Amino acid sequence: MEKIKMTTPLVEMDGDEMTRILWKMIKDELILPFVDLKSEYYDLGLPNRDKTNDKVTIDSANAARKYGVAVKCATITPNAQRMDEYHLHKMWKSPNGTIRSIMDGTVFRAPITIPSIRPVVKNWEQPITIARHAYGDVYKSVEIRADEPGVAKLVFEGKSGKKQEVEIHNFDGAGVIQGMHNTDKSITSFAHSCFKFAIDTKQDLWFATKDTISKTYDAQFRQIFEEVYEKDYKQEFEKLGIEYFYTLIDDAVARVIRSKGGFIWACKNYDGDVMSDMLSTAFGSLAMMTSVLVSPDGKYEYEAAHGTVTRHYYKYLKGEETSTNPMATIFAWSGALRKRGELDNIKELVEFGDKLEQACLDTLNSGIATKDLVNLMEGVEAKQANSDEFIAAIRKNLEVSLSK
Ligand code: NAD
């Protein structure tokens, strides 16, 4: 079988611990035998980030901007314990945060679903994709503990000399105050990423805020989404038969629970933080959650939503067998290769992405699964496989489907 040729390099961001081990296994078994892989490789493993003073992370993000498609392995975000473990020069920032700010992107997370793992919410038939605005609001807020009576005010001093001032509260005792912000630029980017992704995946887009209470702040989110939709995306949505739907956040939550799924739910920063954990748990397992960062000008970075699975790595280092689930990492590869194929008009690469995913699903549907899934599966006789066996079973299915 001739290997599939690529024209533009895929930006490959390697990572840490157990996912780094899986990364190599996935490449060796499921990608390299079939695809003449053209990639620009960046080692984002913590030792190399430390060695390059984190320059490698910035370079990789710039490469993703340049070429348009990247695939990333999970990476360690250092804390005090990791400083000692890896003898680091500095507590380097989260690579995902760095990449996100360079790509100015929005993260979309969607669960991989299979018939034998039923979501906790029984009427969900299709995955629900969550899009979280990853800038501002309470995550960039400032706070004051007021420990005596007094007046709190919100003041804006414009560059022009214009001044706006409102009283927040006249305290007759102690209390707390918080100031937060967002920018039209960031909200607009968020809106563009969401509408583009909805068109890309041909799904409805839902967006919700609390603009009945927050008549300026949340209303600005609603208004920007509406304007961006009317101006740039309405026609395309109508052509595809998909819908943009705005509602209040409380109404959205109720409707999500009663829905059949199959749409994108755009969330403000805090809502997205909370709701994405709710969704991934309700759909089954963190190891089955895919994640893609999409920039407003259509650049993509695919990854798994989970971390480096440290506990399994320490077992692996002791020579013990592990049953780490590679699904979300494989789907990062298939998603990135399919997108590369779409952008470069390489039909075989698009089909390869689809077939790789189907081979994974066929493997699970036949009952072969990693430990985290075995107990969740119903209606099939599930057999626990270690990571090697699981990937080998996927390869077998993939070979059959590619030879057809
Ligand atoms: P984690 O996602 O690695 O693990 C959380 C829990 O889920 C663990 O119980 C783990 O065993 C289980 N789990 C996750 N993925 C699994 C898989 N594929 N197969 C089987 N079980 C799986 O998160 P953590 O333990 O909080 O963090 C570990 C490291 O990962 C930290 O250093 C953190 O900085 C990093 N991290 C990276 C990313 C990223 O790069 N996107 C995201 C989260 C955490």
Ligand 1 atom nearest 371 alpha carbon:
20
**Chain-wide mean pLDDT for the chain?**
95
Q: Which atom of ligand 1 is nearest to the CA of 73?
A: 40
**pLDDT recorded at residue 383:** 94
The pLDDT of residue 281: 87
The token duo for 399 is 């070979």
**Which residue's alpha carbon is nearest to atom 26 within ligand 1?**
307
pLDDT in the model for residue 224: 98
Question: What pLDDT is attached to residue 285?
Answer: 83
**In the prediction, which pLDDT does 262 show?**
96
Say how many Å lie between the CA of residue 392 and the centre of ligand 1. Answer: 23
In the chain, % of residues over pLDDT 90: 89
Over the stretch 206-224, which tens digit does the pLDDT of each residue have? Answer: 999 999 999 999 999 999 9
pLDDT range class, residue 75, cuts 50, 70, 90: very high
100-151 pLDDT per residue, tens: 888 888 999 999 999 888 899 999 999 999 999 988 899 889 999 999 999 9
pLDDT at 32: 98
Tens of pLDDT, residues 246-264: 999 999 999 999 999 999 9
With a CB cutoff of 8 Å and minimum separation 6, the contacts of 80 are 91
ipTM over 0.95: yes
Q: Residue 8 has what DSSP assignment?
A: S
Protein residue with least CA distance to atom 41, ligand 1: 74
Q: How far is the CA of 74 from the centre of ligand 1 (A)?
A: 8
Q: Does the CA dihedral 337-341-343-344 come out positive or negative? A: positive
The pLDDT of residue 235 is 97
Q: What's the pTM?
A: 0.90
Rounded Cα distance between 351 and 259, Å, is 30
Specify the ligand 1 atom closest to the Cα of 291: 41
pLDDT of 213:
96
Supply angle C-alpha 275, 374, 253, rounded to 5.
Answer: 15
* pLDDT tens digit sequence for 352-404: 999 999 999 999 999 999 999 998 898 889 999 999 999 999 999 999 999 98
Confidence check: pLDDT of 277 > 90 = no
Looking at the chain, the whole-number percentage of residues with pLDDT higher than 70 is: 100
pLDDT value at 1 more than 80: no
The candidate with the shortest Cα–Cα distance to 336, out of 106, 22, 74, 13, is 13
Residue 239: predicted pLDDT? 97
Which pLDDT tens digit goes with each residue over 283-312? 988 899 999 999 888 899 999 999 999 999
Q: Which residues have CB under 8 Å from 56's CB, separation 6+?
A: 42, 43, 44, 48, 49
